[in-house]
Protein backbone atom coordinates (compact mmCIF):
# COMPACT_ATOMS: atom_id res chain seq x y z
CA UNK A 1 0.00 0.00 0.00
CA UNK A 2 2.90 2.24 0.83
CA UNK A 3 4.25 1.55 -2.65
CA UNK A 4 0.96 2.57 -4.32
CA UNK A 5 0.86 5.86 -2.46
CA UNK A 6 4.44 6.36 -3.41
CA UNK A 7 3.59 5.95 -7.08
CA UNK A 8 0.66 8.30 -6.78
CA UNK A 9 2.87 10.90 -5.22
CA UNK A 10 5.49 10.39 -7.94
CA UNK A 11 3.31 10.19 -11.09
CA UNK A 12 0.21 11.84 -9.81
CA UNK A 13 -3.18 11.81 -11.48
CA UNK A 14 -1.86 10.82 -14.95
CA UNK A 15 -0.85 7.38 -13.69
CA UNK A 16 -4.26 6.83 -12.18
CA UNK A 17 -6.10 7.72 -15.40
CA UNK A 18 -3.90 5.41 -17.47
CA UNK A 19 -4.59 2.55 -15.08
CA UNK A 20 -8.33 3.11 -15.33
CA UNK A 21 -8.20 3.17 -19.16
CA UNK A 22 -6.40 -0.17 -19.32
CA UNK A 23 -8.87 -1.69 -16.90
CA UNK A 24 -11.90 -0.51 -18.93
CA UNK A 25 -10.37 -1.79 -22.19
CA UNK A 26 -9.80 -5.17 -20.63
CA UNK A 27 -13.37 -5.37 -19.47
CA UNK A 28 -14.63 -4.47 -22.97
CA UNK A 29 -12.53 -7.20 -24.61
CA UNK A 30 -13.79 -9.68 -22.09
CA UNK A 31 -17.42 -8.76 -22.88
CA UNK A 32 -16.99 -9.15 -26.70
CA UNK A 33 -15.19 -12.45 -26.16
CA UNK A 34 -18.01 -13.76 -23.99
CA UNK A 35 -20.51 -12.83 -26.69
CA UNK A 36 -18.49 -14.45 -29.46
CA UNK A 37 -18.28 -11.12 -31.28
CA UNK A 38 -15.32 -9.88 -33.29
CA UNK A 39 -14.42 -6.28 -32.90
CA UNK A 40 -14.69 -4.24 -36.10
CA UNK A 41 -11.35 -3.58 -37.73
CA UNK A 42 -11.02 -0.05 -39.06
CA UNK A 43 -9.83 0.35 -42.62
CA UNK A 44 -6.91 2.70 -42.92
CA UNK A 45 -7.60 5.59 -45.25
CA UNK A 46 -11.17 4.49 -46.05
CA UNK A 47 -13.82 7.07 -47.01
CA UNK A 48 -17.57 6.81 -46.67
CA UNK A 49 -19.35 5.41 -49.76
CA UNK A 50 -21.02 8.24 -51.68
CA UNK A 51 -24.79 8.36 -51.59
CA UNK A 52 -25.96 7.55 -55.15
CA UNK A 53 -27.74 10.42 -56.89
CA UNK A 54 -31.10 9.27 -58.26
CA UNK A 55 -31.40 9.57 -62.04
CA UNK A 56 -34.25 11.95 -62.81
CA UNK A 57 -37.04 10.39 -64.79
CA UNK A 58 -37.53 11.94 -68.23
CA UNK A 59 -40.47 14.30 -68.41
CA UNK A 60 -43.22 12.44 -70.25
CA UNK A 61 -44.40 13.99 -73.50
CA UNK A 62 -47.90 15.36 -73.02
CA UNK A 63 -50.68 13.51 -74.78
CA UNK A 64 -51.65 15.31 -78.02
CA UNK A 65 -54.80 17.37 -77.62
CA UNK A 66 -58.14 16.24 -79.04
CA UNK A 67 -58.67 17.92 -82.41
CA UNK A 68 -61.42 18.20 -84.98
CA UNK A 69 -58.90 17.89 -87.83
CA UNK A 70 -58.84 14.73 -89.88
CA UNK A 71 -55.09 14.99 -90.52
CA UNK A 72 -52.36 16.60 -88.41
CA UNK A 73 -48.62 17.08 -88.81
CA UNK A 74 -46.33 19.05 -86.49
CA UNK A 75 -42.64 19.57 -87.29
CA UNK A 76 -39.77 21.22 -85.45
CA UNK A 77 -38.19 22.90 -88.49
CA UNK A 78 -35.14 24.02 -86.51
CA UNK A 79 -34.39 20.53 -85.29
CA UNK A 80 -35.76 18.87 -88.44
CA UNK A 81 -37.88 16.36 -86.55
CA UNK A 82 -41.51 15.35 -86.59
CA UNK A 83 -43.30 15.91 -83.28
CA UNK A 84 -46.74 14.64 -84.25
CA UNK A 85 -47.93 12.69 -87.28
CA UNK A 86 -51.55 11.72 -87.70
CA UNK A 87 -52.14 10.39 -91.23
CA UNK A 88 -49.81 12.96 -92.81
CA UNK A 89 -49.59 11.03 -96.08
CA UNK A 90 -53.34 10.68 -96.60
CA UNK A 91 -54.31 12.31 -99.94
CA UNK A 92 -57.08 14.87 -99.43
CA UNK A 93 -58.54 17.85 -101.34
CA UNK A 94 -56.18 20.81 -100.83
CA UNK A 95 -58.51 23.80 -101.17
CA UNK A 96 -56.52 27.04 -101.33
CA UNK A 97 -53.44 25.60 -99.61
CA UNK A 98 -52.49 24.53 -103.15
CA UNK A 99 -51.84 28.20 -103.93
CA UNK A 100 -48.49 27.80 -102.19
CA UNK A 101 -47.46 25.64 -105.14
CA UNK A 102 -48.98 28.16 -107.56
CA UNK A 103 -46.86 30.93 -106.04
CA UNK A 104 -43.64 28.90 -106.10
CA UNK A 105 -44.18 28.00 -109.76
CA UNK A 106 -44.93 31.59 -110.75
CA UNK A 107 -41.72 32.75 -109.09
CA UNK A 108 -39.72 30.67 -111.57
CA UNK A 109 -41.43 32.17 -114.63
CA UNK A 110 -42.48 35.79 -114.07
CA UNK A 111 -40.60 38.83 -112.75
CA UNK A 112 -42.24 40.44 -109.69
CA UNK A 113 -42.33 43.94 -111.21
CA UNK A 114 -43.84 42.83 -114.50
CA UNK A 115 -47.23 44.46 -115.19
CA UNK A 116 -49.99 42.27 -116.58
CA UNK A 117 -53.52 42.99 -117.79
CA UNK A 118 -56.49 41.10 -116.42
CA UNK A 119 -58.79 39.49 -118.98
CA UNK A 120 -62.43 38.49 -118.69
CA UNK A 121 -61.51 34.81 -118.43
CA UNK A 122 -59.60 35.62 -115.23
CA UNK A 123 -62.60 37.08 -113.42
CA UNK A 124 -64.51 35.14 -110.76
CA UNK A 125 -67.91 35.54 -109.12
CA UNK A 126 -67.19 37.13 -105.72
CA UNK A 127 -70.36 35.61 -104.29
CA UNK A 128 -69.10 32.12 -105.09
CA UNK A 129 -65.31 32.29 -104.82
CA UNK A 130 -62.60 34.13 -102.91
CA UNK A 131 -61.26 37.10 -104.83
CA UNK A 132 -58.83 40.00 -104.60
CA UNK A 133 -61.30 42.16 -106.55
CA UNK A 134 -59.97 42.19 -110.12
CA UNK A 135 -61.90 43.05 -113.26
CA UNK A 136 -61.11 42.81 -116.97
CA UNK A 137 -58.87 45.70 -118.04
CA UNK A 138 -57.15 46.07 -114.67
CA UNK A 139 -53.36 46.27 -114.75
CA UNK A 140 -51.36 45.02 -111.79
CA UNK A 141 -47.84 43.81 -111.04
CA UNK A 142 -46.97 40.16 -110.58
CA UNK A 143 -45.85 40.95 -107.03
CA UNK A 144 -49.25 42.42 -106.18
CA UNK A 145 -50.98 39.47 -107.81
CA UNK A 146 -48.97 37.20 -105.50
CA UNK A 147 -50.22 39.27 -102.57
CA UNK A 148 -53.77 38.86 -103.86
CA UNK A 149 -53.15 35.13 -104.22
CA UNK A 150 -51.78 34.54 -100.72
CA UNK A 151 -53.58 37.08 -98.49
CA UNK A 152 -57.28 37.12 -99.49
CA UNK A 153 -56.68 33.86 -101.40
CA UNK A 154 -57.98 35.36 -104.63
CA UNK A 155 -58.95 32.86 -107.29
CA UNK A 156 -58.89 35.71 -109.80
CA UNK A 157 -55.22 36.27 -108.96
CA UNK A 158 -54.54 32.54 -109.37
CA UNK A 159 -56.17 32.42 -112.80
CA UNK A 160 -54.46 35.58 -114.01
CA UNK A 161 -51.04 34.36 -112.91
CA UNK A 162 -51.61 30.90 -114.40
CA UNK A 163 -52.64 32.33 -117.76
CA UNK A 164 -49.80 34.87 -118.02
CA UNK A 165 -47.13 32.43 -116.83
CA UNK A 166 -48.49 29.76 -119.16
CA UNK A 167 -48.13 32.14 -122.11
CA UNK A 168 -44.37 32.23 -121.42
CA UNK A 169 -44.03 28.47 -121.51
CA UNK A 170 -43.31 26.84 -124.85
CA UNK A 171 -44.32 23.35 -123.83
CA UNK A 172 -46.46 21.36 -123.92
CA UNK A 173 -47.23 23.29 -127.12
CA UNK A 174 -50.50 21.47 -127.77
CA UNK A 175 -52.02 22.81 -124.54
CA UNK A 176 -53.53 26.27 -123.92
CA UNK A 177 -51.51 28.61 -121.67
CA UNK A 178 -53.26 27.81 -118.38
CA UNK A 179 -52.94 24.08 -118.97
CA UNK A 180 -49.24 24.51 -119.73
CA UNK A 181 -48.87 26.25 -116.38
CA UNK A 182 -50.65 23.39 -114.60
CA UNK A 183 -48.23 20.96 -116.22
CA UNK A 184 -45.36 23.06 -114.87
CA UNK A 185 -46.99 23.08 -111.42
CA UNK A 186 -47.09 19.29 -111.47
CA UNK A 187 -43.44 19.19 -112.51
CA UNK A 188 -42.59 21.55 -109.66
CA UNK A 189 -44.44 19.28 -107.24
CA UNK A 190 -42.34 16.34 -108.37
CA UNK A 191 -39.17 18.43 -108.10
CA UNK A 192 -40.04 19.22 -104.47
CA UNK A 193 -40.70 15.56 -103.72
CA UNK A 194 -44.46 15.96 -103.26
CA UNK A 195 -45.61 12.36 -103.52
CA UNK A 196 -49.35 12.75 -102.94
CA UNK A 197 -50.00 15.99 -104.84
CA UNK A 198 -51.98 15.93 -108.08
CA UNK A 199 -52.68 19.31 -109.71
CA UNK A 200 -55.87 20.07 -111.63
CA UNK A 201 -56.40 23.82 -111.05
CA UNK A 202 -54.20 26.78 -110.02
CA UNK A 203 -56.55 27.76 -107.19
CA UNK A 204 -57.14 24.43 -105.41
CA UNK A 205 -60.81 24.24 -106.33
CA UNK A 206 -62.77 21.06 -105.58
CA UNK A 207 -62.36 19.01 -108.74
CA UNK A 208 -62.09 15.23 -109.08
CA UNK A 209 -58.58 13.90 -108.61
CA UNK A 210 -56.98 17.05 -107.18
CA UNK A 211 -55.33 16.10 -103.89
CA UNK A 212 -52.39 16.76 -101.62
CA UNK A 213 -51.24 15.63 -98.17
CA UNK A 214 -50.09 17.25 -94.96
CA UNK A 215 -46.57 16.01 -95.56
CA UNK A 216 -46.52 17.55 -99.05
CA UNK A 217 -47.88 20.84 -97.71
CA UNK A 218 -45.13 20.89 -95.09
CA UNK A 219 -42.55 20.61 -97.86
CA UNK A 220 -44.31 23.38 -99.76
CA UNK A 221 -44.33 25.61 -96.71
CA UNK A 222 -40.60 25.07 -96.20
CA UNK A 223 -39.96 26.16 -99.79
CA UNK A 224 -42.20 29.23 -99.44
CA UNK A 225 -40.49 30.31 -96.21
CA UNK A 226 -37.11 29.88 -97.90
CA UNK A 227 -38.14 32.35 -100.65
CA UNK A 228 -37.59 35.87 -99.24
CA UNK A 229 -40.34 37.50 -101.33
CA UNK A 230 -42.96 34.86 -100.61
CA UNK A 231 -41.98 34.66 -96.93
CA UNK A 232 -42.51 38.41 -96.65
CA UNK A 233 -45.91 38.18 -98.34
CA UNK A 234 -47.31 35.39 -96.16
CA UNK A 235 -46.24 37.38 -93.10
CA UNK A 236 -48.42 40.37 -94.10
CA UNK A 237 -51.61 40.85 -92.12
CA UNK A 238 -52.84 43.47 -94.57
CA UNK A 239 -51.57 45.13 -97.75
CA UNK A 240 -52.60 47.95 -100.07
CA UNK A 241 -52.03 47.34 -103.79
CA UNK A 242 -52.39 49.75 -106.69
CA UNK A 243 -54.51 48.71 -109.65
CA UNK A 244 -54.17 50.59 -112.95
CA UNK A 245 -56.32 50.69 -116.05
CA UNK A 246 -59.66 52.36 -116.78
CA UNK A 247 -60.80 51.83 -113.17
CA UNK A 248 -57.61 52.73 -111.30
CA UNK A 249 -57.89 52.24 -107.55
CA UNK A 250 -56.21 51.03 -104.38
CA UNK A 251 -57.24 47.61 -103.06
CA UNK A 252 -56.94 46.79 -99.36
CA UNK A 253 -56.20 43.09 -99.00
CA UNK A 254 -56.47 41.27 -95.66
CA UNK A 255 -54.86 37.96 -94.81
CA UNK A 256 -57.35 35.14 -94.19
CA UNK A 257 -55.05 33.68 -91.50
CA UNK A 258 -56.56 34.95 -88.24
CA UNK A 259 -53.62 33.70 -86.16
CA UNK A 260 -51.06 35.77 -88.03
CA UNK A 261 -49.26 38.05 -85.59
CA UNK A 262 -50.45 36.02 -82.58
CA UNK A 263 -48.71 33.16 -80.75
CA UNK A 264 -45.59 33.78 -82.82
CA UNK A 265 -47.34 32.83 -86.09
CA UNK A 266 -45.57 34.15 -89.22
CA UNK A 267 -47.67 32.49 -92.01
CA UNK A 268 -48.36 30.36 -94.11
CA UNK A 269 -51.76 29.62 -95.81
CA UNK A 270 -55.40 28.84 -95.20
CA UNK A 271 -57.81 26.82 -97.30
CA UNK A 272 -61.53 26.08 -97.14
CA UNK A 273 -63.90 24.18 -99.40
CA UNK A 274 -66.83 21.79 -99.05
CA UNK A 275 -64.65 18.79 -99.91
CA UNK A 276 -61.54 19.85 -98.00
CA UNK A 277 -63.15 21.32 -94.91
CA UNK A 278 -61.07 23.86 -93.01
CA UNK A 279 -57.33 23.66 -93.65
CA UNK A 280 -54.43 25.60 -92.20
CA UNK A 281 -50.68 25.57 -92.67
CA UNK A 282 -49.03 27.68 -89.96
CA UNK A 283 -45.46 28.40 -88.93
CA UNK A 284 -44.52 30.06 -85.64
CA UNK A 285 -41.38 31.26 -83.90
CA UNK A 286 -40.56 30.79 -80.23
CA UNK A 287 -38.71 32.84 -77.64
CA UNK A 288 -35.69 30.54 -77.95
CA UNK A 289 -35.49 31.25 -81.72
CA UNK A 290 -36.91 27.94 -82.91
CA UNK A 291 -39.30 27.56 -85.83
CA UNK A 292 -42.22 25.13 -85.82
CA UNK A 293 -44.71 24.19 -88.52
CA UNK A 294 -48.13 22.56 -88.26
CA UNK A 295 -50.52 21.37 -90.96
CA UNK A 296 -54.14 20.51 -90.28
CA UNK A 297 -56.56 19.26 -92.93
CA UNK A 298 -60.24 18.47 -92.78
CA UNK A 299 -60.82 20.48 -89.62
CA UNK A 300 -64.12 21.75 -88.25
CA UNK A 301 -62.39 24.54 -86.29
CA UNK A 302 -58.89 25.12 -87.64
CA UNK A 303 -57.98 28.01 -85.35
CA UNK A 304 -58.96 26.20 -82.15
CA UNK A 305 -57.08 23.15 -83.40
CA UNK A 306 -53.98 25.20 -84.19
CA UNK A 307 -54.04 26.98 -80.84
CA UNK A 308 -54.25 23.61 -79.12
CA UNK A 309 -51.29 22.31 -81.13
CA UNK A 310 -49.15 25.35 -80.33
CA UNK A 311 -49.96 24.94 -76.63
CA UNK A 312 -49.10 21.23 -76.85
CA UNK A 313 -45.74 21.98 -78.49
CA UNK A 314 -45.01 24.52 -75.75
CA UNK A 315 -45.76 21.95 -73.04
CA UNK A 316 -43.80 19.20 -74.80
CA UNK A 317 -40.68 21.22 -75.64
CA UNK A 318 -40.65 24.19 -73.29
CA UNK A 319 -40.43 26.51 -76.30
CA UNK A 320 -42.89 29.35 -75.72
CA UNK A 321 -44.26 31.26 -78.73
CA UNK A 322 -42.69 34.62 -79.41
CA UNK A 323 -44.98 37.61 -78.79
Binding site members for substrate: 269
Annotated catalytic residue, options 34, 46, 49, 99: 99
How distant is the alpha carbon of residue 119 from its chain centre?
39
Annotated catalytic residue, options 34, 88, 120, 153: 153
d(CA 94, CA 216): 10
Q: Which residues contact 27 (CB under 8 A, 6 or more apart)?
A: none
Annotated catalytic residue, options 88, 96, 130, 319: 96
188 classed as catalytic: no
Show binding-site residues: 269
Q: Which helix (H) or strand (E) holds 280?
A: strand 277-285
Write a three-state SS string for 123-136.
CCCCCCCCCCCCCC
How distant is the alpha carbon of residue 182 from its chain centre?
29
| Residues 292/313, Cβ–Cβ less than 8 Å | yes
Report long-range pairs for 254-261 (Cβ below 8 Å, ≥24 apart): 254/151, 254/152, 255/150, 255/151, 255/152, 256/130, 256/151, 256/152, 256/153, 257/282, 258/303, 259/303, 259/306, 259/307, 260/235, 261/237
Enumerate the active-site residues: 96, 99, 153
Amino acid sequence: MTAVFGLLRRFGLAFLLLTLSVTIAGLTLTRYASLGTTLPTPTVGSTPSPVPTPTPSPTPTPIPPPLTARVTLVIDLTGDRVLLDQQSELPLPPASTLKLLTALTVREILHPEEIVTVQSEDEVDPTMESTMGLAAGDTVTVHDLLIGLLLPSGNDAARTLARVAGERLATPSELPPRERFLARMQAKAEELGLEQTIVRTPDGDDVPGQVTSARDLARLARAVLADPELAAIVAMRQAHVRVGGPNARILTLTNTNELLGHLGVIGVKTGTSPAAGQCLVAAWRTLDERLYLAVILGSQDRYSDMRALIAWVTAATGSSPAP
